[in-house]
Amino acid sequence: MRGTLAARAAIAAVAALLPAAIAGAEVRAPAPLPPYAQAYEPTTVDERGLWMEVDEVERKLRDSRFVIKDQKLVDYVQGVLCRTVGDDRCRAVRIYVVRDTAFNASMAPNGMMVVHSGLLLRVKDEAELGSVLGHEFGHFELRHSLNGFKQRRTASDVMTWLAILAPNTGGALATGIAGSAFAFSRGQEQDADMLGLSYLAASPYPSASAANVWERLMAEQDATAAGRKRKAQHRYSAGFFASHPTELTRATYLREAAARAPDPGDAAQAAYRATMAAFLPDFLDDQIKLNDFGGTEYLLNQLAGDQWTPQLLYARGELYRQRGNPRDLVSAAQFYQEAIAKGYAGAEAQRGLGLSLMRSQQVEQGRAALQEYLKLKPDAADASLISTLVAN
C-alpha cells in the first residue's frame, strides 16, 4: 500500500513536468480560421536534428517505387488541399501519393505530406478527401509533430532518471507518464479534427463530409469482422494507450459540430470519380490481395451504389474467385459475364471467367473463355500455362 501511495505521489509530481492531457473536445461550431503564420523554421539543436532526419526520409521517399509518379494525380490532390485550407496555407506543402492500401495520410513538420492510395480508394468525393487532408494540415499548423517530439524527449528523459533514482516505483511511474503522453496525443487529434472542420466550413466543401468518412470506416470494420467471424466493437472510450479517439467518438463530435454550422457546399463527387477512374483498377487490385473478403465486398458496394460499372463488376468477380468456395465460383462467373456484357475491355475478364467456369466443372465453357483470353492477349505472361489448361 505504501509503495502504491508513493508511486501515486511521484506520478503527480512528474506530471507537472509534462504537458497536461487535453480533455474531451467540447462540441462547438467550427471556429473562424486564425491568420496563417508561415511554416515554422527549426531553431534549437534538437529541432534542426529532427528536420534533418525528416528531410532524409523525404529524400528516400522521392526515389521509392511505391510513390505514384503521376503529376496530374499529385496536382489534383494538391488542388483539393488548397481548396480546403486556402492557397496561402497549401503553397509550401509537398505531396507524395504512395501505393499502399492503408486508410491513411500524414504530414511531417518540414511540409511533406504523404497520402495513401487506400485513402483515395475509400473517400467518395473531394470534400471527404479535403476533410482528411485538412486534419493532417491541422497537425502541421498546430506544430503537433514538433511538440510531440519535445514531449517524447521529456518523458523519455524523466523515465530514465526515475529508473535510476526510484527503482521500486519506476514501473508505476512509467505507466503514468506513458498514459499522460498518449492522452495528450488524443487531445492533439481532437484539436486537429476541429481545426480541419473549420477549414471545411470556410471552403467550398460541406463540413458535414468530415463525419461521413469515419462512419463508413466503422461499417467497413464491421464487415471485415463479420467476414472473419469476429465480433465487431465500437466504443466511445479509447484504450489507455490508444493514440487516437475512437472512430465512433470522432464521427459523433464531428457530426454534431458540423450541424452547428450548416454549409451545404458542393462535395465535387463527379470530379473526384472522373479523376480516380484511371487509378481505380490498381487500387482495387491491391485491396483484393489483402484477403479481406467482408471489408472489400463492403467497399465495392459503397463504390458502386446502385450502378455497378464494368470495372467494379470485374473486381467483384476477382474477389469471389480468389476466395474460391463453390458458390463463390458461380457468383464470380456471373460477375465476369456481366462485366463483359457491359463493355469491360480487358482480356483479364475472359481469363477470370474461364478459370471460374473450369473450377465449377463447366469445362467446355471455361476453355472457350480461356481461348478468347489468349486471342485477345497472346503475349500474356501466363499464356503458356493457360494454353496447357485449354489443351487438357
CB-based contact 203:130 (threshold 8 Å): yes
Which cell goes with 1?
500500500
Chain centre distance of CA 232: 19
For residue 24 the three cell numbers come to 474531451
From residue 99, alpha-carbon distances to 105, 221, 287, 298 in Å are: 12, 21, 11, 21
The SS3 of residue 54 is helix
**Cell digits for 295?**
471489408
Q: Would you state the torsion angle of the CA atoms of residues 198, 199, 205, 210, taken in this order, to the nearest 10 degrees?
A: -60
Domains of the chain: 2-259 (no CATH), 279-391 (1.25.40.10)
Q: E strand or H helix at 220, and its extent?
A: helix 209-227
Backbone φ, ψ for residue 98 (5° rounding): -110, 145
Specify the amino acid at residue 117: S
Strand partners, 97: 115
Q: Print pLDDT tens along the chain (392 aa).
A: 434 444 334 333 333 333 333 234 455 566 667 677 666 677 777 777 777 888 898 999 999 999 999 999 999 999 999 999 999 999 889 999 999 999 999 988 888 999 999 999 999 999 999 999 999 999 888 877 665 555 554 444 433 433 444 444 444 433 343 334 434 477 788 888 889 889 998 999 999 899 999 899 989 999 999 999 887 765 544 443 344 557 788 888 888 888 887 778 899 999 999 999 999 999 999 999 999 999 999 999 999 998 999 999 999 999 999 999 999 999 999 999 999 999 998 999 999 999 999 999 999 999 999 999 999 999 999 999 999 988 87
Q: How far is it, in rounded angstroms, from Cα 173 to Cα 15?
A: 10
State the amino acid at position 91 in one-letter form: R
